[in-house]
Amino acid sequence: MSDYILEVINVRKRFGGVVALDGVNLKVKRGSMTALIGPNGSGKTTLFNVIAGVYKPDSGKVIFDGTDITGWPPEKIYHRGLVRTFQVPRMFKGMTVFENVLTAAKGNPGERFSTSPLRRIWKAIELKIAEKAVDIMELLKILHVARNLSSAISGGQMKLVELARGLMSDPKMLLLDEPAAGVNPTLAHEIFTFLRNLNREQGITMLIIEHRLDILFDYVDYVYVMHRGKVVAEGTPEEIVENPVVVDIYLGEA
C-alpha cells in the first residue's frame, strides 16, 4: 500500500484557448488532511473536477489508491471510495434533506427497476441505511431539518448536507471544495473540528480547497499552492506562510 492515496501526475486541461491546468503534480499522503490553496482562477476547482471525473484531462494521470482512475466517470470513482463535495452545494431540490442523504448510500438493492417493486428484498438494508443517515445528520446537527425540502434550508445547512451525503458511502478520501465557505466563523470552526476528528478517528484522507488561511492552518497537515494552473509551492503550513513565492502570489493578486 502506497504512502500516497492520491497522485496527480502532470495533468493538463484546456478549454478552447484557455489553459486551466498546465501540468499539475501533487500527492496526498494517506490519512492526512491536505489543503489546496491559491488565488481565484488558479485552477483548483478544475483540478477537483478532473480528479473526480467531471472532466477528462487532456494529458496526465490520476492515481487513486493504487488504481489509475484517469478519465473514469464520477459514478465509478465514487464507488472506489473517493468522494467529492461541491463549492456551491448541489441539492436534489425536489427532495427533502433526509432523502438527499439517503440517496448517497451505496449498494441499495431497492435502487433497481427489477427489485424495487418487491419491498421484502430491500427493506432491511434500507432501514440500516436510514440509521446511518440519521446518525450522520445528528452528528452534523442537521437532523432537525431532515423533513425540510433541501431547497428550503440555509446555505450553511446545505454545505452540511453535502458533507453528510459524502459520508454515507464510508469513503476512503474526501475532496472538499470550500466546505465552510459562506458560513459564519463559529460554524466554520465546528465544521473543521468535525472534519479533523473524522480524519484522526476514522482515517479518512482529505484534500480541502479553502481560502481562509487562518482557519486552515489550525487543522491541516500539508499544503499545496496553485497559481495559473500549476502547483508552485508545497509544504507544511508554517513553511508555506514563510515562502516568498506564496506571499508574492497573494499580495500580487490583492
> Shortest distance, CB of residue 122 to other proteins, whole angstroms?
7
Chain centre to alpha carbon of residue 141: 19
What secondary structure does DSSP assign to 135-163, as a single string? Answer: HHHHHTT-GGGTTSBTTSS-HHHHHHHHH
Does 106 contact other proteins by CB under 8 A?
yes
The single residue among 47, 143, 191, 226 that binds other proteins, judged by CB under 8 A, is 143
Does 119 contact other proteins by CB under 8 A?
yes
Residues numbered 145 to 164 that lie near other proteins (CB under 8 A) are 146-147, 154, 156-157
What are the distances in angstroms from CA 227 to CA 22, 47, 172?
10, 12, 28
The single residue among 1, 17, 40, 244 that binds other proteins, judged by CB under 8 A, is 17
Interface size with other proteins, residues (CB under 8 A): 57
Does 113 contact other proteins by CB under 8 A?
yes
Nearer of residues 50 and 225 to other proteins, judged by Cβ? 50
Nearest Cα to Cα of residue 106 among 84, 126, 136, 134: 126
Query: Applying CB under 8 A, which part among 5-13, 25-33, 124-132, 241-249 lies near other proteins?
Result: 124-132
Find the helix packing angle between 119-139 and 155-167, rounded to 10°: 130
Q: How is residue 87 annotated by DSSP?
A: S
Does 133 contact other proteins by CB under 8 A?
yes
* Contact indicator for 103, 162 with CB cutoff of 8 Å: no
**Which triple of cell numbers denotes residue 97?**
434533506
The single residue among 95, 181, 198, 213 that binds other proteins, judged by CB under 8 A, is 95
> Shortest distance, CB of residue 145 to other proteins, whole angstroms?
8
What are the distances in angstroms from CA 121 to CA 79, 108, 204?
22, 10, 31
Does 123 contact other proteins by CB under 8 A?
yes
- Exposure string of 231-253, with b = 16+ CB inside 10 Å and e = fewer, is bbbbeebeebeebeebeebeeee
Site for other proteins, rule CB under 8 A: 16-17, 52, 54, 73-75, 78-79, 83-84, 86, 90-96, 98-99, 102-104, 106, 108, 110-113, 116-117, 119, 122-123, 126-127, 129-131, 133-134, 138, 141, 143-144, 146-147, 154, 156-157, 165, 168-169, 183-184, 187
